Amino acid sequence: MAWDFSTDPEFQEKLDWVDNFCKNEVEPFGLIFPYAVRSRHPKIKALVKGLQDQVKAQGLWAIFLDEELGGPGFGQLKLGLLNEIIGRYPTAPQMFGSAAPDTGNMEMLAAFGTEEQKERWLKPMLNQQLWSAYSMTEPHGGSDPRLFKTRAVRDGDEWVINGEKWFTSAGRVADLLFVMCTNGMFVVPRETPGVEFMPEPRAHNHIKYTNVRVPLDHLLGPEGDARTLAQRRLGGGRIHHAMRTIARCKLAFDMMCERALSRESHGQIISEHQMVQEKIADSYAAIRMLRLFVLETAWKIDNSSTSETRTDIAGVKFTMAKVLREVSFNALHIHGSLGTTDLTPLQAMYAAAPTMGIADGVDEVHKVTVARNVLKSYEPHEGLWPREYIPAKREQARAKFEPLFEKDPELREVAEGFERMRRGRAAAARAR
């Protein structure tokens, strides 16, 4: 019997270390020096390095990568347990060398890059000497990749890329842009002539690629197969977001409970009002369900593959958005006016909740994936009635018992008594 929800004591020690480190080092540092990881100031760099060295000494650097790809190889389940701590602190993923969008790009490089590409890009990315962004969505269509137009054309010993991308997160501050073209995934250094940033949006950039020339070895993976690379990238990214979302939900929940016990209204501590209790109970159950779903999906990936687990990853993707919306709303609401300000993390968390239903694919598309895949294991019933139509099942049951009744008439009488009782009850119910 292998159902076991406990954590190895050895790994629990790691989790406790991460918890203390994030609480006592990462969070205070992030409050005084936000975005410090990318700072070029020598004093800030030294402070960041000091913290990151501690992470490396614990073997917790780039925790998302498998061993053969250059990481510690924890697998998804352990990664889930780590991420549900790290995700509570916005600056922590970068301190652990595992922040999006770099993680997904590193995964693609690790899985599909040549040795030379890994040496040139993956190693410096792992050491945060190079930063990257991912250019897939286009202004005229995001959910349906068949609408994408950006294309690379081979010209001698170069590829020439033309197209337009939208919502490339952190593109403006990236060294490398991973550009999904209709005929392959390309690595484009940001400074390449022809890469033009539109003034808006500021954080998630609109980029025009006009006659952008890159050498032939900037094609990543096979020509014509950008979607396989994208799936690899996005599949991992979605489950990692979900793991960190558990942490955000727990933070909102902790705040909700603390506040409910601390305020008074209409002669009671507000936690004694039943509608407040309902919010606490619903949030508690929603987080437990999300956590089990995420960890079970992580376990399935460890025991099969990302592609074999895609139905559950899609399910997790829209469920996390829903749970974050519900729990952050409840927490914000219980904080009253304070919840609506930016003096706690709640307002930003609630504002970010709809984003979770869009980034990495909109909810509807993931729901379609789940429904389509789930339906593959079902068949329509024959005739008018569903398989669970009770009168038909009773008929079949009677036929099954008939040989026994023939041998034992007394048993038939008992069965008929049961049948009379059932009909009598049904008639009485109808008469009421």
Ligand X SMILES: Cc1cc2nc3c(=O)[nH]c(=O)nc-3n(C[C@H](O)[C@H](O)[C@H](O)COP(=O)(O)OP(=O)(O)OC[C@H]3O[C@@H](n4cnc5c(N)ncnc54)[C@H](O)[C@@H]3O)c2cc1C
Residues near ligand X, by CB under 6 A: 101, 134-137, 141-143, 167-169, 204, 355, 358-359, 361-362, 364-365, 368
Yes or no: say if 128 and 37 are a contact pair by the CB < 8 Å rule: yes
Closest contact distance (angstroms) between CB of 42 and ligand X is 30
Q: Provide the minimum distance between the beta carbon of 136 and ligand X in the complex, in angstroms, as a whole number.
A: 3
Q: Which residues are CB-neighbours of 319 under 8 A, at least 6 positions away?
A: 242, 289, 290, 293
Q: Measured from the CB of residue 204, what is the shortest distance to ligand X in angstroms?
A: 5
165 or 218: whose CB is closer to ligand X? 165
Q: How far is the CB of 105 from ligand X (least distance, A)?
A: 10
DSSP secondary structure string for all residues of 297-355: HHHHHHHS-TGGGHHHHHHHHHHHHHHHHHHHHHHHHHTHHHHTSSSSSHHHHHHHHHH
Instruction: Please identify, using beta-carbon distances, which residue of 81 and 180 lies nearer to ligand X.
Output: 180
Nearest-approach distance from CB 184 to ligand X, in angstroms: 16
Residue 5, CB half-sphere, CA atoms under 13 Å: how many?
Answer: 6
Residue carrying the six token digits 């997904």: 104
Closer to ligand X by Cβ: residue 122 or 177: 177
The residue among 371 and 414 lying less far from ligand X, judged by its C-beta, is: 371
Residue type, position 190, single letter: R
* Minimum CB distance to ligand X smaller for 351 or for 358: 358
d(CA 142, CA 165): 10
Cis peptide before 101 (omega within 30 of 0): yes
Shortest separation between residue 208's beta carbon and ligand X, angstroms? 14
- The shares of helix, strand and coil residues in the chain, as percent rounded to the nearest 5, are 60, 15, 25
Cα-Cα-Cα-Cα dihedral sign, residues 4, 7, 8, 11: positive
For residues 74 and 112, which CB has a smaller minimum distance to ligand X in the complex?
112
Q: Which is nearer to ligand X, 223 or 364 (CB)?
A: 364
Task: Say if strands 176-181 and 132-135 run parallel, antiparallel, or are unpaired.
Answer: parallel
Q: Which SS3 state, helix, strand or coil, does residue 162 take? A: strand
Closest separation between CB of residue 168 and ligand X, Å? 5
Q: Least distance (Å) from ligand X to the CB of residue 119?
A: 25
Q: How far is the CB of 281 from ligand X (least distance, A)?
A: 30
Instruction: Give the C-alpha separation, 322 to 286, whole Å.
Output: 9
Q: Given the complex with ligand X, which of 141 and 424 has the nearer CB atom?
A: 141
Residues 242-260 as b/e (b if ≥16 CB within 10 A, e otherwise) read bbbbbbbbbbbbebbbebb
Residue 219 carries which DSSP code?
E
Query: What contacts 24+ positions apart, CB below 8 Å, involve 54-59?
Result: 54/21, 54/25, 55/21, 55/95, 55/96, 55/97, 58/14, 58/17, 58/18
Q: Which is nearer to ligand X, 81 or 249 (CB)?
A: 249
